[in-house]
Amino acid sequence: MVAEFELTPQEIVKELDKYIVGQFEAKKCVAIALRNRYRRRQLPPKIQEDIMPKNIIMIGPTGVGKTEIARRLARLVKAPFIKVEATKFTEVGYVGRDVDSIIRDLVDIAVRMVKEEKMEQYAKKAEKLAEERIIDLLLPLPQKRKATATNPFNIFFPSSKLGSEGEENNADYNEQQQERIERIKSGRELLRAKLKAGEIENKIVELEVDDSLPPMAEIFSGYGMEEMSINFQDILGSLIPKKKKKKKIPISQARKIIKQQEAEKLIDRDEVVSEAITRTEQLGIVFIDEIDKIVGSGSQGTIDVSREGVQRDILPIVEGSTVVTKYGPVKTDHILFIAAGAFNVSKPSDLIPELQGRFPVRVELSSLKEEHFKQILTEPENALIKQYKLLLSVEEVELEFTSSGIDEIARISCQLNEELEDIGARRLHTILEKLLEDISFTGPEKKQKHIVIDRDYVIQKLQNIVRNKDLSKYIL
């Protein structure tokens, strides 16, 4: 895990460059915002509380990297991250989701993240415990004999023959039991060696597991008919024991289940929750997409009232409030909020003044050009061409993209974005899917396993569709 304080703003931008092409200004803004968190935490506690995060509004068309910048930023520092659509929320009193659910979902993500880290931390210990449990399933140690009741006559007659016979029987039993235990221990060591060598992975064992019936109930609250998940097991605790069932499964599968069970036993749930809440409050990142869609134009009557209502509902969690979750209260004062929108028919200044003031940093992302498309196809660590090559290598099909082929794909993508709707880098997904459709379909049976994607191949596959404007609207 890379700690946030180990990365300077320039290093953060370099890390983002591995996945996102261009958009330097946006990367610089988020890098500064992230570094400011570290700077704040180095100050005295009293001053820390007064320094609020500088929330960001990203302005730009779809598909230029707004969401990806925020997502990669969160992954970079292992921060709880959630992306929400502003249009999914409505003013209190209308059918829709309550904005407080953003923070509840964010805490759920943080708890899951911390739990996974703890389970990884205890993985080796859980592996050993799982091995012992599997051996117990295959060859259990004999249970100790229950102590027999003491002969009451021994109190008054210590030399009672009845007592002596009982002691002799016990001695014989103990000796036999000890010999049996030694034999079983020897067998268990042999099993342990076979387990480590992977010789009995397919052997079937009977394992007791939790019944997988979902313990969740969905209810509707009076505020916006929000869906709330209530886990009755959490509420009632041990009053309602979990249902168990026996299942016959191979050792290879049983090991995974037992390892998870043992790791969960080693984890302190209270510690997980406490750390998750702290991480949410100090490191949490909320990405609010399509924020321009809740800006009214002033000429649509009651619709504008509802949109403004959503802004006013979002305002408290952005400016800092306490949200009650099933894990406890969570303060939103230092959560970083990044909003994004195309703002085609509106502008950030159309937001209500209070909300504008809570997003002091504004950055415009530029539309992607032909040279950007070339870079997106080849340079990032998760570049599209690399992905398709790996996918088809499963069928032993080797794709070779020439520079002329890549240039033509970029040119067509740029042309279509200009003539049709500008959907940014998402146009490349559409183009490549159509371009490689036949190869993907016939890949398993294809005799020719080496295929060159050059300019002629691209033109042959896409020229007719690109020329037919009506058809290209539907297909590309």
Q: Which residue has the tokens 């949109």?
A: 307
Backbone angles phi, psi at 335, to 5 degrees: -75, 140
**Exposed, middle or buried, 319 (CB in 10 Å: 0-12/13-18/19+)?**
middle
- Number of C-beta neighbours around residue 418 at 10 A: 9
- Residue 285: C-alpha distances to residues 21, 71, 164, 272, 382 (Å): 22, 9, 76, 19, 23
CA-CA distance, 166 to 150, in Å (whole number)?
Answer: 9
The mean per-residue pLDDT over the stretch 39-65 comes to: 87
Nearest Cα to 114, choosing from 259, 271, 7, 230? 271
What per-residue confidence (pLDDT) applies to 242?
65
The residue type at 163: G
Nearest Cα to 335, choosing from 27, 117, 114, 107? 107
The model's confidence at residue 169, banded by pLDDT at 50, 70 and 90, is low
CA-CA distance, 171 to 165, in Å (whole number)?
Answer: 10
- Number of C-beta neighbours around residue 373 at 10 A: 26
CA 128, 133, 139, 145 torsion-angle sign:
positive
Nearest Cα to 424, choosing from 66, 10, 85? 66
* Least confident range of 10-19, 143-152, 349-358: 143-152
Please tell me the pTM assigned to this model. Answer: 0.74
Nearest Cα to 68, choosing from 116, 110, 18? 18
Domains and CATH numbers, the chain: 4-117+271-364 (3.40.50.300), 123-144+169-266 (no CATH), 370-466 (1.10.8.60)
Backbone angles phi, psi at 324, to 5 degrees: -85, 125
pLDDT per residue as tens digits for the range 281-332: 988 999 998 888 888 654 444 445 467 778 888 888 998 889 999 999 999 9
**Using an 8 Å Cβ cutoff, are 463 and 409 in contact?**
no
The residue type at 333: D
CA-CA distance, 139 to 142, in Å (whole number)?
Answer: 9
Backbone angles phi, psi at 364, to 5 degrees: -100, 130
Nearest Cα to 80, choosing from 234, 276, 273? 276
**Over 80: is that where the pLDDT of 60 sits?**
yes
The chain-wide mean pLDDT, for the chain, equals 79
* Least confident range of 76-80, 205-209, 334-338, 359-363: 205-209
The mean per-residue pLDDT over the stretch 19-23 comes to: 87
The mean per-residue pLDDT over the stretch 330-352 comes to: 88
What per-residue confidence (pLDDT) applies to 277?
94
The mean per-residue pLDDT over the stretch 58-64 comes to: 86
pLDDT per residue as tens digits for the range 398-426: 888 999 999 999 998 888 888 888 888 88
The mean per-residue pLDDT over the stretch 218-237 comes to: 45
Q: With H, G, I as helix, E, B as strand and everything else as coil, classify residue 120.
A: helix
Helix and strand numbers (H, E) in the chain are 20, 13
Half-sphere exposure of 119 (CA within 13 A, CB side): 16
Backbone angles phi, psi at 388, to 5 degrees: -65, -35
**Over 50: is that where the pLDDT of 229 sits?**
no
Q: Which residue has the tokens 């302190």?
A: 268
CA-CA distance, 223 to 225, in Å (whole number)?
Answer: 5
What per-residue confidence (pLDDT) applies to 185?
72
**Over 60: is that where the pLDDT of 148 sits?**
no
The mean per-residue pLDDT over the stretch 68-76 comes to: 86
First vs last Cα of the chain: how many Å apart?
40
**Exposed, middle or buried, 332 (CB in 10 Å: 0-12/13-18/19+)?**
buried
The residue type at 399: L
Q: With H, G, I as helix, E, B as strand and everything else as coil, classify residue 470.
A: helix
Nearest Cα to 206, choosing from 251, 161, 164, 155? 251
pLDDT per residue as tens digits for the range 239-283: 556 677 777 778 778 888 888 888 888 888 899 999 999 999 988
Q: Which two tokens stand for residue 63?
A: 């598909």
Tell me the range of 59-73, 159-173, 327-341 where mean pLDDT is highest: 327-341
CA-CA distance, 377 to 410, in Å (whole number)?
Answer: 8
What per-residue confidence (pLDDT) applies to 190?
78
The mean per-residue pLDDT over the stretch 381-403 comes to: 89
| Cα 4 from chain centroid (whole Å) | 19
What per-residue confidence (pLDDT) applies to 275?
92
The model's confidence at residue 230, banded by pLDDT at 50, 70 and 90, is very low
What per-residue confidence (pLDDT) applies to 286?
92
What per-residue confidence (pLDDT) applies to 261?
82
Q: What is the DSSP string of 112-130?
A: HHHHHHHHHHTHHHHHHHH
- If one compares 346 and 28, the residue with the highest pLDDT of the two is 28
Tell me the range of 11-15, 133-137, 246-250, 256-260 where mean pLDDT is highest: 11-15
What per-residue confidence (pLDDT) applies to 158?
56
